């Protein structure tokens, strides 16, 4: 199994969640996060003076994928959220050792 940490623009969240559901992964955790990448921060202005917001708001989704689906899901997410502009986000992939479904005690991929 593989955990995908998907960092995306706030406005792309629904699209990713719908896509994952279609691909058979309704279970997803998401966080509102602030961070920065190549895009840098934002410049805002208050009563005539500009100031920098060094971190931008993004959404981080975490989803765990069965081994065979990994490439397919990752590629589909990339296709869905890519605009080609700086700030599209990133996907980090980590191997997952095991999963336990707390209600039944099931383990492994069938607990996903």
Per-residue interface string for the shown chain with other proteins, residues 53-92, x marking contact by CB under 8 A: xxx-------------------------------------
14 near other proteins, rule: CB under 8 A: no
49 near other proteins, rule: CB under 8 A: yes
H runs (alpha helix) in the chain? 13-22, 70-81
Q: Report CA-CA distances (Å) from 69 to 26, 46, 47, 85, 94.
A: 14, 48, 52, 27, 14
Nearer to other proteins, 56 or 70 (CB): 56
Nearer to other proteins, 38 or 46 (CB): 46
Nearer to other proteins, 48 or 68 (CB): 48
DSSP codes joined into one string, 69-98: GHHHHHHHHHHHH--SSTT--EEEEEE---
From 45, 79, 98, 103, residue interacting with other proteins (rule: CB under 8 A): 45
DSSP assigned state of 4: E
Residues binding other proteins (CB under 8 A) = 34, 41, 44-55
């Amino acid at each position: 199994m593989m955990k995908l940490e998907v960092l995306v623009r706030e406005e792309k969240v629904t699209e990713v969640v719908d896509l994952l559901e279609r691909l058979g992964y309704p279970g997803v955790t998401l966080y509102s996060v602030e961070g920065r990448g190549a895009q840098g921060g934002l410049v805002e202005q208050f009563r005539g003076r500009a100031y920098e917001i060094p971190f931008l708001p993004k959404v981080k989704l975490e989803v765990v994928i069965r081994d065979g689906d990994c490439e397919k899901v990752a590629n589909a997410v990339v296709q869905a959220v890519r605009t080609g502009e700086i700030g599209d986000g990133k996907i980090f992939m980590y191997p997952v050792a095991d999963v336990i479904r707390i209600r039944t005690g099931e383990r492994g991929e069938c607990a996903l």
